[in-house]
Amino acid sequence: MITAVPRFNLIGFKMLDKTEKPLRFLQIGDLHITDLGLQNHADLRRIIDEVNENTAGKIDFVYLPGDNADDGTPEQFRIVHDEMSRLILPWHAIPGDHDFKPRSLDDFYAGLHVRKLPYVVEISGCRCVFLDVVSRGTGGPDFRLGEVRLVWLRSQLDAAQRDGKTAAVFMHAYPADLGEEAAEIAAMFDESPVALVGMGHTHYNEISNDGRTIYAATRSTGQIEEGDVGFAFAAIDRGAVSWRFKPLQSSWPFVMITSPADRRLAIAPHLAQGSVCHEVRASAWGAAPIAQAEFRIDDQPWRPMVGGDSGLFGAELTAPGGSFRLSVRVTDQHRNQDTDTIDVAPFVVAEHKPTGSDAGSIGTWPARHLLGTQLGPNRNGRKW
């Protein structure tokens, strides 16, 4: 049984509401730090410099998805902390299996000076849930939450549902990797307002969509096996999920459409107020001020967008019936430009079984640096 449900109402868009900001975060892939001065350490240092210069005040936080220290030693955690402490923005870190190599997270907490997991923070109106899926296991990829934390997680997601809040979960691996807990967690996400799960572990860029939740993994910074090193921007904007990878060597400015969602990232509305989108919205980043923001549908003329506060831009829109291509272009005061383009289509809700896995992979998307290689520890890569 397949039922067509309009994901977006694209007629009569309202203007940008400056008080209604999307959740916007930046994810750096698994660092696997070993020694001072190696390439992944140099790349992390450059990422921090670029993020400080180009995103201050325009990102809610920076996220490390685990496997921060390759051997989980105090010295390696110290390297990570010394670099991350230079960030102007807030940052959050969770552990991966490599961080748990000593069979304890004592050095993880002592070295990174991060908050004890699990915890929840509300950021830009979104409930952000940060999890430790390693310390209840026996080490290696024996991922699990444990009974107490499963109960805690369900209570947090129930509270988000009750309060009408969208949720994002941050964990090291796909729920499907959590053994006997996998089906329960996948169903829990499916039944709750979890729109996005941000992960590491895979070493490759990958996005899966099960119709209710987007699962997004960012390419490793340390044990990299595909493409260029970089970092990912992600957002949840009134239920719409967006994700775009930025190679480290690429130029600024950088823009991402945050609403409506690309057809590959469209999910069933979790909350009544998130089921209708009233405008095209985008976020832009760069050290130089954005002088102009524009959008267009298909090959129609470019039209102006308004805003600019905190890098947010919006515009009214009258869209054609059916599918269309939407582009947003920004130009900074030095006339440097960047363009983001998505495909928008009516959303169709189909019967599905939540798997919490890569079964719903959206496949290759070259413009987003999604290569479909699955070169990493889960699939076809080296056995690091």
Q: Is 345 found in the same domain as 285?
A: yes
Residue 127: its H or E element:
strand 126-130
| Residue 296, in any domain of the structure | yes
Question: 346 pLDDT exceeds 90?
Answer: no
Provide the CATH number for the domain around residue 142. 3.60.21.10
User: For 38-71, what is each residue's pLDDT tens digit?
Assistant: 999 999 999 999 999 999 999 999 999 999 999 9
Q: How far apart, in whole angstroms, are the C-alpha atoms of residue 100 and residue 221?
A: 19
Q: Is 199 found in the same domain as 163?
A: yes
Q: Is 294 found in the same domain as 158?
A: no
- The residue from 203, 237, 271 where one domain ends is 237
Identify the pLDDT of residue 271.
52
What is the DSSP secondary structure assignment for residue 13, as one 8-state letter?
A: P
Determine the average pLDDT of the residues in 298-314: 95
| Residue 54, in any domain of the structure | yes
User: For 174-191, what is each residue's pLDDT tens digit?
Assistant: 999 999 999 999 999 999
| Residue 247, in any domain of the structure | no
Q: Is 27 found in the same domain as 12?
A: no
Identify the pLDDT of residue 105.
98
Q: Is 297 found in the same domain as 232?
A: no
Provide the CATH number for the domain around residue 336. 2.60.40
Give the three-class secondary structure for 243: strand
Q: What are phi and psi of 362, to 5 degrees?
A: -80, -5
User: For 138-151, what is each residue's pLDDT tens digit?
Assistant: 999 999 999 999 99
Domain count, the chain: 2
Q: Is 340 found in the same domain as 208?
A: no
Burial code (b: 16+ CB inside 10 Å, e: under 16) for 95-109 equals: bbbbbbbeeebebbb
Q: Is 285 found in the same domain as 186?
A: no
| Residue 376, in any domain of the structure | no
| Residue 367, in any domain of the structure | no
Question: 343 pLDDT exceeds 80?
Answer: yes
| Residue 373, in any domain of the structure | no
What is the DSSP secondary structure assignment for residue 163, as one 8-state letter?
A: T
Q: Is 174 found in the same domain as 278?
A: no
Dihedral sign for Cα 91, 92, 98, 104, please. positive
| Residue 96, in any domain of the structure | yes
Radius of gyration of the chain (CA): 20
Give the three-class secondary structure for 215: strand
Q: Is 148 found in the same domain as 281?
A: no
| Residue 119, in any domain of the structure | yes
Q: Do 340 and 201 meet the contact criterion of CB atoms below 8 Å apart?
A: no
Q: Is 301 found in the same domain as 218?
A: no
Residue 278: its H or E element:
none
What is the DSSP secondary structure assignment for residue 295, as one 8-state letter?
A: E
Q: How far apart, in whole angstroms, are the C-alpha atoms of residue 58 and residue 25?
A: 9
User: Which has more pLDDT, 120 or 274?
Assistant: 120
User: For 268-303, what is each residue's pLDDT tens digit?
Assistant: 876 543 333 468 999 999 999 999 999 999 999 999
What is the DSSP secondary structure assignment for residue 287, as one 8-state letter?
A: S
Domain extent at residue 65: 23-237
Dihedral sign for Cα 327, 233, 358, 156, please. negative
Q: Is 174 found in the same domain as 117?
A: yes
- The residue from 208, 237, 266 where one domain ends is 237
Mean pLDDT over the full length of the chain: 91
Compute CA distances 34 → 72, 74, 111, 369, whole Å.
Answer: 9, 11, 14, 26
Residue partners of 151: CB distance under 8 A and separation at least 6: none
Least trusted range by pLDDT, from 7-16, 163-172, 192-201, 304-313: 7-16
Q: Do 70 and 44 meet the contact criterion of CB atoms below 8 Å apart?
A: no
Burial code (b: 16+ CB inside 10 Å, e: under 16) for 283-315 equals: bbbbeeebebbbbbbeeeeeeebebbeebbbbb
Q: Is 40 found in the same domain as 12?
A: no
